[in-house]
Amino acid sequence: MVRFSEVLQWFRSQFISLPVPTKRYSGQTIIVTGSNVGLGLETARHFVALDAQKVILAVRNRPKGEVAAKSIEQSTRRTGVVEVWDLDLCSYASVKAFANRASTLDRLDVLVSNAGIVTYDFVLAEDNESTITVNVISGLLLALLLLPKLRETSIQFKKETVLTFTGSFVHIMTEFAERKNQNILKSLAVKDKADMKDRYNVSKLIQLLLGRELAKQLTSSAKPGDIAVNVVNPGFVKTEVMRNGGAVFQVFFKPWRALVARPTEKGSRTIMHGAAGGKETHGQYLSDCAVAQPSEFVRSAEGLEVQEKLWDELGEILENVAPWVIKNL
């Protein structure tokens, strides 16, 4: 599944000039998950600078979230815009509590599902290994829970709303052997068979497949409202996402980060491109602030088959977490 040409294309893209975001968000409400550091923080900073009325930092660590909020206020010279809300994607109860609170907002124009983790330690969180729970299942759960608010905003203000996921180029860097298992998500929860060195790559491939399927499901929905769904590759960026990477990161990734990684603000421009929406981005993989091709596997017949299989498996999990949530489609 891993193709040298795709890896080479990614390497070249690291040095592409990316446009500074200019779209205004006057009067709009934005949620950015995982926004106390890195890409999420710089993305939230852009939204505030571009005149958003309310920007919610959805974070696991409230003290760090408060520090991030102050940093944004100081750099943009705008106060009363940023709010810090608690969200722990390791906990389905936390996700549901956050969504219940967000349902009381006057509007929700953009949801940036950015939070993610990298770890080489196998730890269960809810019904799966933590990388899968955080990077895949909880992110999709939150998206589905907030669809009614995104749809309501779209109808009330006669505009497109946007759901964008922070994906990764690393989806091309896995053989994804688990795809052949009878139940893919359940197999990823088996510690003895887990290849944790490959787990982040797998999680980003699954996230991309499910993001594409979510877009497809919304396109076929009879419910009113205009919601654009896309998955963004910010490239290789200097962030703290690898802080739990351990020795593997120190030996293999850290030297490459110093050489080719994008500054965090530059990487956040790609997320702002996804958040700007547009019909041309719906259901698409975005890279370098443009619609791009995902891996050959994602585009293949087998990829589509696995995508639909994963959607069914996700539905089975969410049926036990929030039995009504799929009806939000």
Q: Which residues are catalytic?
A: 200, 204
- The string of DSSP codes covering 107-174 is ---EEEE------SS--EETTEEHHHIIIIIHHHHHHHHHHHHHHHHHHHHTS-EEEEEE--GGGGS-
Please say whether the beta carbons of 41 and 13 come within 8 A: no
Backbone angles phi, psi at 84, to 5 degrees: -110, 120
Cα 137 to Cα 116, 127, 179, 305: the distances in Å are 11, 10, 16, 19
Q: Helices 264-275 and 38-49 sit at what angle, rounded to 10 degrees?
A: 60
Q: Which residue is it, tokens 């010279």?
A: 77
Please tell me the number of Cα atoms within 13 Å of 207 on its side-chain side.
Answer: 35
Helix, strand, coil shares, percent, the chain, to 5? 55, 15, 30
Please say whether the beta carbons of 43 and 291 come within 8 A: no
Using DSSP bridges, classify how beta strands 290-292 and 284-287 pair: parallel, antiparallel or unpaired.
Answer: antiparallel
Please tell me the number of Cα atoms within 13 Å of 307 on its side-chain side.
Answer: 22
Please say whether the beta carbons of 173 and 201 come within 8 A: yes
Tokens (6 digits) for 155:
């109808």
